Amino acid sequence: MQRWVTKKSGARRPPGPLQVRAIEEAVLARWQPRIRARRRAQAEAEGFVFHTRARFGFAAPTGSSDDPRVRWITQDLPGEVARELFAARDAGAGEQQQTVILARALGHAYFREWGRRAHGLHVSFSDVEFADFSIG
């Protein structure tokens, strides 16, 4: 591993997709599987808190206040979103597909206040600087 992360000349190049996948599988296989299962069940039952800094925008004319801009958002999301994210990951969905799920959930919960306002608003979610998930 050190050869892949070092900047020294003569060091190996970063791991390719196959090596990255093998590393991820090895870590997941050894990383407390019962605790992971318990936390997953908790997230699916009770929901989770999603905290992010990313660029959010809406389908709107240029120059409006709805132009995409970076926002800090912390939002409680329900267990249904956790189930959808886990199901997508288990089916092999990539980061982009999971980002679409989160954008839809944030649009409904944060921007449309669970359906109380801004009906039909389409939220764009891009340039994610960080994303953090907290489970009860």
The identity of residue 119, as a single letter, is H
- Write out the two tokens for 15: 């791991």
- Strands 123-134, 69-77: pairing kind: unpaired
Confidence (pTM): 0.69
For residue 13, what is the DSSP state?
A: P
pLDDT in 10s for each residue of the chain, 136 residues: 555 556 666 666 777 888 888 888 888 777 788 888 999 999 999 999 999 999 887 765 455 556 778 889 999 999 999 999 999 999 999 888 999 999 889 888 987 787 777 677 777 788 888 899 999 7
105-112 contacts at long range (C-beta below 8 A, 24 or more positions apart):
105/50, 105/77, 105/81, 106/50, 106/56, 106/73, 106/75, 106/77, 109/75, 109/76, 109/77, 109/78, 110/73, 110/75, 111/56, 111/58
Tokens of 73: 């958002």
Kindly state the tokens that stand for 80: 């249904």
Half-sphere CA count of 52, side-chain side, radius 13 A: 22
Strand order in the sheet with 69-77: 69-77, 48-58, 123-134
Q: Which of 12, 83, 86, 16 is nearest to 46 (CA)?
A: 83
> What type of residue sits at position 18?
L
